Amino acid sequence: MNDFNSPQSDPDSDLRDRLADAVANEAAFEGWTGTALRAAARGLGLPAGEADRLFPGGALDVLNHLSLRADRRMVADMEAEGMGSLKIRDRIREAIRIRLDRHLGNKEAARRALALLALPFNAPLGLKLLYRTVDAIWYSAGDTSTDFNFYTKRATLAAVYSSTLLYWLNDRSPGSEATWKFLDRRIDNVMTVEKLKARARSWQPGNRMRTAVRR
């Protein structure tokens, strides 16, 4: 079971999406605050108390909603565009690119969201959103591991995704080309480290002995 397929039927889904998008637009100027939530609700002509009903946790609830929606849309795009024939590193690259380029939204709103999630009392939510996103990326890339590798892959990808996100936020190059080159370098570095680790494991005394016996 995963959180990345389409949500179950929700009569408020469209309205919740509209309000969340309106809050994100306000957040680029006001930050992710109650003020932004109330302004967005007024802009949509919602009755008093409706914003609180849709997002009882306030602006942080909106962030959680938008992040999960972006993860779902990324997975759907990957499936629709038939990325399964690509090499795993290329699937990872495309998933990150789709997540940032199509579904992260306004850069200033994203920058303010990161600043809010970096506060100590919001750190648990920030880690939850990061883990869910890298889990969605691996899921969309076709990862089916269930052993310890499951966690090491996600920890490694979290570092790649986080550094790429920060680079993207400050990238002014046409089409964010500098970001995608940066991402390629980060993935290359990870692949090199993994190859070296695999080679080191193969040269451990126990492995050399088993290799000699098989010969």
Report domain extents, the chain: 13-214
- Distance (Å, whole) CA 25 – CA 7: 24
Q: Which residue in the block uniquely carries the two structure tokens 């759907």?
A: 76
- Distance (Å, whole) CA 85 – CA 190: 21
Encode the chain (215 residues) as per-residue pLDDT tens digits: 456 665 667 889 999 999 999 999 999 999 999 999 999 999 999 998 999 999 999 999 999 999 999 999 999 999 999 887 888 889 999 999 999 999 998 999 999 999 999 999 999 999 999 999 999 999 999 887 777 788 888 999 999 999 999 999 999 999 999 999 999 999 988 877 555 455 555 555 555 555 444 55
Asked if residue 7 lies in contact with residue 13, where contact means CB atoms within 8 angstroms, the answer is: yes
Q: Could you read off the pLDDT of 16-33 as tens digits, one per residue?
A: 999 999 999 999 999 999
- Distance (Å, whole) CA 194 – CA 173: 30
Dihedral sign from CA coordinates of 175, 114, 28, 138: positive
CA angle 118, 174, 66 (to 5 degrees): 35
- Distance (Å, whole) CA 102 – CA 197: 34
Query: What is the phi/psi pair of residue 203, to 5°?
Result: -100, 10
For residue 146, give Cα distances in angstroms to 90, 115, 143, 184, 191: 22, 33, 9, 26, 20
Instruction: Tell me the CATH class for 13-214.
Output: mainly alpha
